[in-house]
A and B are shown apart, each in its own frame.
Chain A
Amino acid sequence: MSDFAASSRFMRIVDRRADPPGRGAVNRERFIRRFKDEIKRAVDEEIGKRGIADIGKGGRISIPGRGLKEPYLHHDSKTGSRDFVLPGNHEYLPGDMIDRPDGGEGDGQGNEPGEGESRDNFAFVLSRDEFLSLFFDDLELPNLERTRLADVSFVTTRRGGYSRDGVLANLSPALTMRMSIARRIALRGGIASRIEELEEERHESHEAGRRAEIDDEVTVLKDRSEKLPFLEEIDRRFRALQPVPAPATRAVMLCLMDVSGSMDERKKDLAKRFFALLYLFLERKYGAVDVVFIRHTETAQEVDEKTFFHDPQSGGTLVMPALELAHKVIEERYAGNDWNVYIAQASDGDCGDEDAQRCAGYLQTELLPRVRYFAYVDIPSANSGGWFARPSDLWQCYEPIGAASFAKRKVHDRRDIWPVFRELFARKEAAA
């Protein structure tokens, strides 16, 4: 410590490690904002290369370096003459001639500002959040408008203002004390003016009786003024809660899949990818999303994810039980206005005509009013193309449904999934 005293120098060590991220984040965001188009294109390209299961990860992307060049004035190295000094001479003597390297290597100006800009591409790493927000940038939740405007059904509370009653935990001591002081000042003021009045009267009065009376009263008043209670019930103030309407923020996604014999691995894989995409999308919008897996053959069953995708089943196909089960699940667990219910159904649509008819009817009367969105993905067999291809039974029966919250698309191939998904959830043009 003694040498500390000897040093008159000012010195301080500050630990900044716990500081919140600052300018770095801001500048990063500026960069992404500025080159949004290029970056988005790169993100889309990247997605084309990735499996859908990996889409949720951040990643390295690169964008063309042209646009983000920061130009600076410099000489054209092909003109004029110049002398320059280099280090590391091994063998040359004055008068020697050296072949000029092509790439500008060994050029005395190698350390010009902005090196690295001549590279064709600028590569960098996007975080998961940045990646996803670009990935979903022109997708919008279906019917978000309605959620925002009409269906503001969910009430939450927020702190706001003060009230006279509440639970003790919410007591606001500062305000309570202020009220107590105010009350005491107000009451003392009244007493003081009354005392003043009485004393004046006593001064003017000549009756001994009246004066004694006044004296008594003054004593009482003074006593009362001194004994004003420090805190009274009416002083207490509590922090209050205000009800605030809020859009429903919880979401559940029901995945319905046909696992009958006709659904081969390829179809299941396509369905899975679609579900994964939907899940990512919802998760991004809502934070946490509940997922319910319902598989069906002739009967419907609620299962866990692994069984859903990997447990082989065989049998015929009935779609109706699955819809009924979905309805039951919604009624039991996800009823109420604070739930956003999404249903994604994947099937090869290969069910009986009668069943399909019933399904369409049930969908329209029972399910659609309860869900935010119902997407049907039709996955035809790989060899079903050609002249004689006809739409599946389910597809045909779903055809006339015109509700805004219903959509159906065909997916033939892995490549189709992203465009189909995009189309289904494309941002609706603002109602102009």
Chain B
Amino acid sequence: MNPWDLAGLDAPARRRASSPRERPWPRLVSRPAVPMPVPGVTRALEPIATGTEWTVPLLERFDVALSAHARRLHLETFPVQYEVITAAQMIDLCSTVGMPVHYPHWSFGKHLLGQEHTYKKGVSGLAYEIVINTSPSLVYLMETNTLPLQVLVMAHAAYGHNAFFKSNYLFHQFTQPDGILDYLTFARNFILDCEQRYGWREVERVLDVCHALAPYGVDRYKKPAKLSASRERERLAERLRFAQHHYNPDVAYLYENAAAKQGPELEEFEPQENLLYFIEKRAPKLAPWQRELVRIVRKISQYFYPQRLTKVANEGAATFWHYTLLHELYDHGQVDDGFMLEWLSNHSDVVTQPSFDDQRYRGINPYALGFAIFRDIRRICEQPTDEDREWFPRLAGTNWVESVHFAMANFKDESLIEQYLSPKVMRDVRLFLLADEESDRSKYAVRAIHNEQGYSRVRQTLAAQYRPEVQTPPLAVTRFSADSDRALLMQHRVERGRLLDADAATEILAFIKELWQFDVVLEEIDDAGNRLKIHRT
């Protein structure tokens, strides 16, 4: 028996712990147990490669090997295109969220310069991998990586992320991986064209505002229309034709929307959460090309929406799969011990979770948490303890491949944690729950820790922490008047007394006003409907 694996001992110990004040950790050793894949498979005579030098034919052979294992484990993926790039190109890519095509904007340049600076100073390394949700899936391999690291990236991105993109319901609903690059090309050309016609300052002004509002350019529940560059081009061409005939683009816009406006438009106005959509359609004084810019940013923001909801799930699944696939390679004798040690050292850097009082602590590491959850799913399936049977009666002892695929396909961060975060993981990571109460600002109160009484609360709160509302306070347009003062009224629903940061709110309102051009008011409303605060431009 693995002396570190105390999971077996743990269950009876847990029952004995009657008092909530009893400290649970002397019996826990923080070293997690590593579930090594089952031995007994036929091993290849020779590893595919030894050493750290990589060549393109070698990468091809590794891809073949990986894809064989992936097939056996039922990983469904989009076709893959690997691109070998330099470090400088990697910095480029990072600055445009990994998209190989993007419209130019100074903020990308800012990230680029910042990143380059820290990279050259040696403060931060570069991302090992970026993969974006396109079809074919583009996977970037940096030339400076060693062979084991390249294979790690291939397994992580080309199989892990790729399979996640292909199977997860959010990506299914919200994105079209085959259309995005085409759309971005269209967007870039359109924006460059606008810069020619209207001047870069004007274009940049609109884009700045839109970027700040991008989190509010998302339909959270409705499935968005398909991205199609050709349809967008047609729409613009139609508008242009009309404009040429009538020589007044503003009228053209009215005309184009006349059909829609004939309906019962002026009736009840429903609160609109998609701020950019609202501005695109209703802002009184925007020129048509400005509306198009708003639309472009909105569409792109929408495309990345699932990414924002599935950081933990996505990275966790990818990390889990690279870990699993590379161990498969090892079990089949396709790689040697040196190879394993090399990538494991990178792997453990990635999944490190510094504790909250550590200098390196930057919030909960999605790689670490996700990896822990997915690996634990496999453990629960393969070696369930009594505790697991109690907590996950329908998961314990099932086929791990199916269970992991199910977890990949049907959850976002919030629900994944809610469903799968097990007491064991909470103990390993030593999660604990703090409360920051309005009544006492000088202290945090510890509300729950990783013990029998605390598991559920810790899990629920952690899950709630991944709701999008926590990161981006929800806003909604509640009223606007088309004819009087044209003021725009927005509401923020306050949860538990948490107000908006006043400076940020003022800045954002000023931004919205740039597009709306009339007064903008933001109310903060609590659950009872009381108005707590008003921000005005």
Binding site for B on A (CB under 8 A): 3-4, 6-7, 9-17, 19, 21-24, 26-35, 60, 68, 70-76, 78-90, 92-100, 105-106, 108-113, 115-116, 122-125
Contacts and interface: CB of A to CB of B under 8 A. Distances in A.
Contacts of A24: 88-89, 91-92, 95, 112
A22 B96 CA distance: 12
B278 interface: no
Interface stretch (B62-70, B264-272, B288-296, B320-328): B62-70
B410 interface: no
Contact of B64 (A7, A22, A92): A7
A122 B357 CA distance: 27
Nearest to B492: A73
A34 B208 CA distance: 12
B89 A17 contact: yes
A29 B106 CA distance: 8
A222 B414 CA distance: 91
B446 A81 contact: no
A84 B109 contact: no
Contacts of B449: 89, 92-94
A10 to B, nearest CB: 4
Contacts of A110: 361-363
Interface in B64-84: 64, 67-68, 71, 77, 79-84
Contact of B63 (A11, A68, A81, A109): A11
A395 to B, nearest CB: 46
Interface stretch (B8-16, B167-175, B497-505): B497-505
Closest 9 CB pairs of A and B: A88-B355, A31-B109, A80-B498, A111-B363, A80-B497, A24-B92, A10-B79, A27-B109, A124-B113
Given A10-B79, A73-B504, 18 more contacts: A11-B80, A14-B84, A23-B108, A28-B113, A31-B106, A71-B212, A75-B473, A76-B502, A79-B497, A83-B447, A86-B434, A88-B356, A89-B450, A93-B20, A98-B444, A98-B445, A105-B361, A124-B113
B424 to A, nearest CB: 14
Contact of B89 (A19, A31, A76, A100): A19
A209 B301 CA distance: 94
B431 A86 contact: yes
A73 B192 CA distance: 29
Q: Report whether over half of chain B's contact residues are helix, strand or loop; otherwise say mixed.
A: mixed
B458 A85 contact: yes
Contact of B80 (A4, A10, A28): A10
Contact of A84 (B21, B434, B438, B504): B434
B105 to A, nearest CB: 6
B117 A125 contact: yes
B336 to A, nearest CB: 20
B442 interface: yes
Given A10-B80, A17-B143, A79 B498 contact: yes
A14 B109 contact: no
A3 B68 contact: yes
Contacts of A10: 79-80, 136
B522 to A, nearest CB: 9
Interface centre among A73, A109, A115 (most CB of B within 10 A): A73
B484 interface: no
A82 B471 CA distance: 13
B498 A75 contact: yes
A71 B96 CA distance: 18
Q: Report whether over half of chain A's contact residues are helix, strand or loop; otherwise say mixed.
A: loop
B67 A31 contact: no
Nearest to A123: B117
A14 B81 contact: yes
Contact of B447 (A19, A71, A94): A94
19 contacts: A13-B82, A16-B89, A23-B96, A23-B108, A34-B106, A34-B109, A71-B212, A72-B472, A73-B473, A73-B500, A73-B504, A73-B508, A74-B501, A85-B433, A89-B432, A96-B446, A97-B444, A98-B445, A110-B363
B84 A28 contact: no
A41 B367 CA distance: 42
A23 B505 contact: no
B199 interface: no
A84 B357 CA distance: 15
B354 interface: yes
A88 B430 contact: yes
B218 interface: no
A28 B212 CA distance: 20
Given A3-B68, A79-B497, A80-B498, A97 B443 contact: yes
Contacts of A27: 95-96, 104-106, 108-109, 112
Contacts of B435: 81-83
Interface string B106-140: 11111011101100100000000000000010000
Contact of A122 (B85, B95, B114, B433): B114
Given A11-B79, A14-B81, A78 B106 contact: no
Interface string B240-254: 000000000000000
Given A7-B64, A7-B67, A85 B462 contact: yes
Contacts of A88: 353-358, 361, 429-430
Nearest to B120: A125
